[in-house]
Amino acid sequence: MSTTTFVAAAQAATSSEVLNVIAAFTGGLFIAGALVWAVRFGMRVMDRELPHPSPEEQPKLPAGGAVHEIREMREPDEVPHAEGRERLMPYQLHHSGSRTGKDQRRRRWLPGSSGSFGSGGLGHV
């Protein structure tokens, strides 16, 4: 390999490395500028929003205290058959779709009864 070929190859490699560094620096400047613009835009949007409520304007608990969850067992209502009539519309059904059950004891899972995987048997023994 002659000296002129080696020098030309070194110059080509150096110029492509310099171009890569310049491209990376330019890309970084572009991303940094975009981030600065996004932060300034977000600050302008926040300045236009309504102010946060003061502590006196915050919601208060009702006089009776906190509202608690009510748990009850429900039984399904029978859907009336529409034989010879037009089909029933949802607003023609009972408002909640079910009624309070007579037995309010919560059903529990019993070992040996049906589980989530098949018949509830003992499995492979």
Q: Note the pLDDT tens digit of each residue in 61-87.
A: 888 888 888 888 777 777 766 677 777
How far apart are the C-alpha atoms of 109 and 115, rounded to whole Å? 8
Tokens at residue 96, please? Answer: 């909640």
Q: Note the pLDDT tens digit of each residue in 13-65.
A: 677 888 889 999 999 999 999 999 999 999 999 999 998 889 999 988 888 88
Find the DSSP H helices in 49-87. none
pTM (2 d.p.): 0.37
Question: How many C-beta atoms lie closer than 10 Å to residue 65's C-beta?
Answer: 7
> Is the pLDDT higher at 47 or at 103?
47
Residues whose CB falls within 8 Å of the CB of residue 105, separated by 6 or more in sequence, listed in order: 73
How far apart are the C-alpha atoms of 11 and 23, rounded to whole Å? 18
How far apart are the C-alpha atoms of 83 and 73, rounded to whole Å? 31
